[in-house]
Amino acid sequence: MRYWDASALVPLVVSEPSTELARTWLAEDSEIVTWAWTRVEIASAIERRAREGAVSRRDRRQVLERLDTFADTWDEVTEVLAVRSRASLLLARHPLRAADAGQLGAALLVNEQLDGRPLSFMCLDRRLSEAAELEGLRVTDG
């Protein structure tokens, strides 16, 4: 099982330099577990690209539809209070943004349920990858 941060999922929805790497990861193991807020993070990335002109208005609609279809295939961590308490502690230990602390908190919650097997954490964000590694996750990054 692999936990996917939004940074690793965005290239599966929007073409970018890390798309082939993310596709390789997905081909190796298509089971995706992620945080419930991930869909919003990816939508934010799509909308930012649309505002910047990197994604046309027509393509924006198609990409958002692709996101909805793709998101229906993954499992989401929805235990908000448990993730929030972990994320708050992580913010004191690591230089993370709130959304990244939520991602890592959700991954740690999943990891606790795996009977000692380290969870693979798929991430393309250097700062978040470093924090995840320090928290004991097996990080796969670019």
Distant-in-sequence, close-in-space partners of 90: CB < 8 Å, separation ≥ 6: 96, 101, 104, 105, 108, 131, 135
Task: Given CATH 3.40.50.1010, say whether it is the number of domain 2-37+74-140.
Answer: yes
Is residue 72 within 8 Å of residue 80, measured between CB atoms?
no
Residue 34: predicted pLDDT:
98
Residue 55: Cβ-neighbour burial (10 angstroms; 0-12, 13-18, 19+): buried
pTM of the model: 0.94
Domain ranges of the chain: 2-37+74-140
Give the three-class secondary structure for 29: coil
Q: CA-to-CA distance for 33 and 2, rounded, in angstroms?
A: 6
* pLDDT tens per residue across span 76-135: 999 999 999 999 999 999 999 999 999 999 999 999 998 777 789 999 999 999 999 999
Residue 118: predicted pLDDT:
77
